[in-house]
Amino acid sequence: MNLLQINLQDFDPDIAREFGGGASTMDFLGVPLFDAQSLWTTLIRFVFNILVCWVIIHFFYYKKANRKDYYFTFIMFAAVIFLIISLMENMKMNIAYALGLFAIFGMIRYRTETIKIREMTYLFVVMGLSIVNGMALSTSYIELLAVNLMVVLIIWMLDGTKLLKHTATKIILYDRIENTKHGKEEDLKTDLIERTGLDISKVEVGHIDYLRDVAFVKVYYKPIDGEVNTIDTITKLKDFDV
């Protein structure tokens, strides 16, 4: 009988390992000491996830915001969440538990300052991609690459180009109270443009203090080179965070 014609399914893997026919795996208390395939899969996907998140953070978020604190936060979120989700998937944890963990992370609030909507959006993107890349172990690398590229493309279209023109806002304590009267909107706008040098498109008058002859006005203007000013809406010294 030709040995090559023997059906491999007739072999008992336990008998094969007993007679040296299978690759033995060293373990300690039932846990493998080394699993090359799992290790390489995790490393490749980890590097891929960090690379994609780094491209999004460095070339889209940081280019405008220039916030190193959020840069560090986003990268660490991407790394830690991927590893947690990846290990949970390797241990066959319930997907509901994984999504519950994601919800807990999503509700995190930093007590030092309120996170702006733009930072929250990028945080959600980083967390979402890390969860997808960590759990999609049965997805092909090409499909996973396509999913990540689609997210990057959407960010590039909406935040990295001039498809959506960004309008910045600034709160100003204005001293010429006579220009805040109804009917003098153009005088107020012209005076603010001349004094600030900004390309102001709209002005809103807020709180008016007739005792000190000052008023809070909010101006909408086109930012220079599309940059995002992170302290435009700060009016108190204690809120200033360098």
Q: pLDDT of 96-141, one tens digit each?
A: 665 665 565 555 554 445 677 788 888 889 988 888 888 777 778 8
Tokens 């493998």 -> residue: 32
Is 29 part of any domain?
Answer: no
Question: Are the CB atoms for 79 and 108 separated by under 8 Å?
Answer: no
Q: Are residues 55 and 150 in the same domain?
A: yes
Domain boundary among 135, 158, 181: 158
Domain that holds residue 56: 35-158
Instruction: Give the separation between CA 139 and CA 131, rounded to whole angstroms.
Output: 13
Q: Are residues 173 and 152 in the same domain?
A: no
Is 226 part of any domain?
Answer: yes
Q: Are residues 126 and 193 in the same domain?
A: no
Of 82-86, 120-124, 170-174, 181-185, minimum mean pLDDT range: 82-86
Helix or strand (DSSP H, E) at 199: strand 199-209
Per-residue pLDDT, 151: 92
* Beta bridge mates, 200: 221
Strand, helix or coil at 8?
helix
Which of 31-35, 53-57, 113-117, 224-228 holds the top average pLDDT? Answer: 53-57
Q: Are residues 140 and 199 in the same domain?
A: no
Domain boundary among 127, 158, 189: 158
Q: Could you give phi then psi for residue 211, rounded to 5 degrees? A: -70, -35
Of 72-81, 82-91, 144-153, 229-238, minimum mean pLDDT range: 229-238
Q: Are residues 107 and 207 in the same domain?
A: no
Instruction: Give the separation between CA 73 and CA 53, rounded to whole angstroms.
Output: 12
Q: Are residues 228 and 204 in the same domain?
A: yes
Instruction: Give the separation between CA 48 and CA 45, rounded to whole angstroms.
Output: 5
Q: Are residues 41 and 129 in the same domain?
A: yes
Is 1 part of any domain?
Answer: no
Question: Are the CB atoms for 208 and 180 separated by under 8 Å?
Answer: yes
Alpha helices in 107-216 (DSSP H): 117-135, 141-158, 185-196
Per-residue pLDDT, 214: 92
Is 50 part of any domain?
Answer: yes
Is 132 part of any domain?
Answer: yes
Report the residue count for the chain.
242
Domain boundary among 158, 193, 221: 158
**pTM for this model (two decimals):** 0.60
Closest CA to 233 of 74, 113, 64, 72: 113
Q: Are residues 72 and 153 in the same domain?
A: yes
Is 96 part of any domain?
Answer: yes
Is 81 part of any domain?
Answer: yes
Q: Are residues 181 and 223 in the same domain?
A: yes
Residues 6+ apart with CB under 8 A from 226: 64, 162, 166
Is 180 part of any domain?
Answer: yes
Domain tally, the chain:
2
Of 31-35, 62-66, 127-131, 156-160, minimum mean pLDDT range: 31-35
| Token pair in block for residue 95 | 């997907």
